[in-house]
Amino acid sequence: MESIERSYMVLEYDRVRDRLAKACVCPGGARHARALTPSGSLEDAREQLAQTADAVRLSTRFGDPPFGGVQDVSDALQRAKIGASLQMGDLLRVARVLSVIRALVRWRDGAEQETTCLDDFFDALAPNKYLEEKITAAILPEEEMADTASAELADIRRNIRRAGQRVREQLDKMVHSQRYAKFLQEAIVTQRGGRFVIPVRAEYRSEVPGLVHDTSASGATLFIEPMAVVEADNELKVLYVKEEKEIERILAALSAEVSTFADVIAQDVRTAEKLDFVFARARLSFAMKAGVPHLADDGIIDLHRARHPLLPPDQAVPIDIRLGEPFDTLVITGPNTGGKTVALKTLGLITLMAMSGLAVPVADDSKLSFFEQVLADIGDEQSIEQSLSTFSAHMTNIIGILHTCGTRSLVLLDELGSGTDPTEGAALAVAILEHLRLRGAKVAATTHYAELKLYALETPGVENGSCEFDVATLRPTYRLLIGVPGRSNAFAISARLGLYESIIVRAKALLSNEDTRFEQVVEGLEKNRLALEAARTEAEALRRQAEQDREAAAHLRDQMENAREKELERARVQAQAMVGRARAEAQALLTDIDELRKMEAAEKAEALRELAKSTVGARLDALEKTADPVRKKQAQPYRLPRRLRSGDRVLIHDIDQKGTVLSTADASGMVEVQAGIIKTRVPESDLRLLENERVTVQARAGGARLARTLRGTHTAAQTEIDLRGQTVQEALEAVDKFIDDARLASLSQVSIIHGKGTGALRTAVQQHLKGNRSVKSFRLGRYGEGESGVTIVELT
């Protein structure tokens, strides 16, 4: 047992407990922290770790529970149970505890969607709002009894105020009267011994009849209670006694109430203290930037980016430590101040903390094992009083460890075998390691002896480790390297510091051949390690770059896919609009042909129908080509070789029909063309000049031949109009023409784009639509139609 306690001390386990105690809010929680010890079983340790993990999760999401005010009221509760009357301060402390218990339950109810292993603690709390409010209603925070504590107390205090007022009034009359003014030291009324008095000069004692209650220090002033108010003061005295007795009665009644719930309150306090202790472990986890580790009992330790728990997180150098698989003993070598001892302490302290249910500063993928004992011999324990040398002190500790350790022990030995003859010390160190291995313990030891490095190289189950040292800067890096024996670096360090080269050469010559070969082997291993580490660093950089390139390519592919989908959707919408316009043109053309049939001979009407069929077919073919959202148009744009003149023969490109120009293009770019018996107006861009053909156009008498323009054939009605940028007057005129064209094209629904802006144009357009007989109804656009920037019109 002594070896275990000494191990806790050298590993600084008590400092962790002190930090945990400071993280507690209530004194009871701090007592739990200072009494913390590693769990006696794996199941208990895992339960404690689960509590810590849940406390971290709850604190992260909902903040800390309100533990302020939880205090030890056991003494007051015990006195109440035996029938004693508690003081006001005791009762207020009980009420404060009840308030905190109720706040804890309310805090847990606010996080009720979270199920945790702490629920049993919270469920065990029994808030008592009845008793809490009864105490706080009767006793004020300044430890004064409230007038409302009882009807009797309120009545007594009311009478006290009235009686006191009468006495003061009588004395005020005396001190302000001309008769008594010259007898008084001051014109004031004061109290002595709870009775009202006035200050009278000593030489006028006989002039003021009454009772003397006090004198000044000089004797020049007497404090006299005049006979006129003695009776009233007596009445006050009786009332004060009644008040005191009533307060005592109220305190006794409240104390009796407390005694009824004393056991429940005491249990609630103990539960709250345990909860504070658990949440203090979460607070310590946040301060150390620690996490809850995976704990097993297989004796395997695999720590990644482990930091010493007592070093500041931003200053500690993370290290990786393995032990238990595939080796059970780790021999760590390296220069002084290189981090060997810190590595041992880190391993031991983190193991103790995990076994105590505390979070530890390691990476999430780390593994720890439960041990029955963690035994350590670390540091110089030379004792002058006991006449022990450093070697003797170490051996005393190691002997205790050898008596205590077993198959479920973790043994940490610092500078094993040091302090004596190097040859004997090295041999003794090897023998101690062999004995510990036979006992089944997991061992980590630091040393400077080359014999132990060689022992680790040659012995299965024993592995070398070293603390890296940068010879170029003469500074340790504090990195722990597993599988690599450390070099002494004595010659290199001496050379860097300026030692004569001749001395270093002579020292190397004095080394035995065996020592030289060993150093050469270690040097070769070190070079190979550095090369492998550089290669691994390069490979890791390439892997990260490849991963970044892969993510960038995936992101670009997603962007292109999204763009393709958007383009296809836009093309489909355009195609639907084109089809709608084609249908409108066809309907308008057929309507005109029907009208012509009524007016002209049958053979002319039949010719018109054939022309209409070819026109509609050509337009639909053109629409099919332009509606393809993937294939691009290959035709090159056509440009007229010269301006068209009357009589030119042209090809109407859209319908593949020849015609004759009757008049040149107007301001809007429209040309009047005669195609067979049909006159029509065609956009100049749709015409192709037939340069070898030309006819003479003669003026005709009015009405001799049919000169009807087919509405909608080439100037098809549009389904939407854009008014943005126009004045209100221009927009309204455009709307009227747009609706007329849409009616002639038999469209049932059109869109008017006016934009959002200030809303003035939208309001004017919608007000104008109300008076248009062709408008059945209208509404603002929905999502995807332009919303409030568009008005959708239904036509009659």
The pLDDT of residue 56 is 94
Token look-up 């300044």 returns: 142
Strand 409-413 and strand 442-446: the pairing is parallel
Q: Name the residue with higher pLDDT: 350 or 169.
A: 350
The pLDDT of residue 736 is 87
Q: Hey, how many other C-beta atoms are within 10 angstroms of the C-beta on 267?
A: 13
CB-count exposure of residue 433 (10 Å: 0-12, 13-18, 19+): buried
Instruction: Quick: pLDDT tens for 388-437.
Output: 567 888 888 899 999 999 999 999 999 888 877 888 888 999 999 999 99
Distance CA 678, CA 198 (A): 131
Tokens of 720: 């939407």
- Residue 473 pLDDT grade (very low, low, confident, very high; cuts 50, 70, 90): low
SS3 readout for 189-215: CEEECCEEEEEEEHHHHHHCCEEEEEE
- Residue 744 pLDDT grade (very low, low, confident, very high; cuts 50, 70, 90): confident
The reply, when asked if residue 339 is annotated as ligand binding, is yes
The pLDDT of residue 309 is 94
Left if phi > 0, otherwise alpha if psi is -120 to 50, otherwise beta: which for 703?
left
CATH domain 717-796 topology: Ribosomal Protein S8; Chain: A, domain 1 (3.30.1370)
Residue 794 belongs to what H/E stretch? Answer: strand 790-795
Give Rg (Cα) of the chain: 52
The reply, when asked if residue 334 is annotated as ligand binding, is yes
Q: Name the residue with higher pLDDT: 504 or 69.
A: 69
What per-residue string of b and e applies to 674-690 under the rule 16 or more CB within 10 Å gives b? ebeebbbbbebebbebe
Instruction: Quick: pLDDT tens for 251-302.
Output: 999 999 999 999 999 999 999 999 999 999 999 999 999 999 999 999 999 9
Distance from the first to the final alpha carbon of the chain: 102
Q: Are 659 and 627 in contact (CB under 8 A)?
A: no
Distance CA 748, CA 795 (A): 5
Question: What residues does each domain of the chain span?
Answer: 2-128+261-288, 149-255, 294-487, 636-714, 717-796
Tokens of 266: 């005491």
Name 714's Cβ contacts closer than 8 Å, sequence gap at least 6: 654, 680, 681, 682, 683, 686
Instruction: Quick: pLDDT tens for 110-167.
Output: 877 778 999 999 999 999 999 999 999 999 988 899 999 999 999 999 998 888 888 8
Alpha-carbon dihedral sign for residues 370, 375, 378, 381: positive
pTM summary value = 0.62
How is the chain split among helix, strand and coil, in percent rounded to 5?
50, 15, 30
Strands (E), 686-744: 687-694, 720-722
**In terms of C-beta distances under 8 Å and separation of at least 24 residues, what long-range contacts does 30-34 make, across chains too?**
31/273, 32/273, 32/274, 32/276, 32/277, 33/277, 33/280
3-state secondary structure of 124: helix
Name the strands in the sheet holding 442-446, side by side, starting at the edge strand that comes first in the sequence: 373-377, 409-413, 442-446, 329-333, 462-470, 475-482
Distance CA 787, CA 19 (A): 63
Name the strands in the sheet holding 670-675, side by side, starting at the edge strand that comes first in the sequence: 678-683, 670-675, 657-663, 648-652, 687-694
* 304, pLDDT greater than 50: yes
For the segment 33-53, the average pLDDT, to the nearest whole number, is: 95
- Residue 453 pLDDT grade (very low, low, confident, very high; cuts 50, 70, 90): confident
Instruction: Quick: pLDDT tens for 179-230.
Output: 888 888 888 888 887 788 889 888 888 888 888 888 888 888 889 888 878 8
The reply, when asked if residue 341 is annotated as ligand binding, is yes
Distance CA 638, CA 504 (A): 94
To the question of domain 149-255 being in CATH 1.10.1420.10, the answer is yes
The reply, when asked if residue 715 is annotated as ligand binding, is no
CB-count exposure of residue 618 (10 Å: 0-12, 13-18, 19+): middle
3-state secondary structure of 376: strand
Give CA separation, 191 vs 195, 199, 224, in Å: 5, 10, 10
Distance CA 151, CA 721 (A): 85
* 481, pLDDT greater than 90: no
Give CA separation, 518 vs 423, 493, 532, in Å: 16, 19, 21
Cis, peptide link before residue 27, omega less than 30° from 0: no
To the question of domain 294-487 being in CATH 3.40.50.300, the answer is yes
The pLDDT of residue 663 is 86
Residue type, 758: T
For the segment 561-581, the average pLDDT, to the nearest whole number, is: 76
The reply, when asked if residue 115 is annotated as ligand binding, is no
CATH C-level class of 2-128+261-288: mainly alpha
Packing angle of the helix pair 490-497, 501-510 (nearest 10 deg): 170
The reply, when asked if residue 89 is annotated as ligand binding, is no
Beta-bridged to residue 586, according to DSSP, are none
Q: Do domains 2-128+261-288 and 149-255 have the same CATH topology?
A: yes
Give CA separation, 473 vs 6, 208, 448, 468, 537, in Å: 37, 98, 21, 12, 22
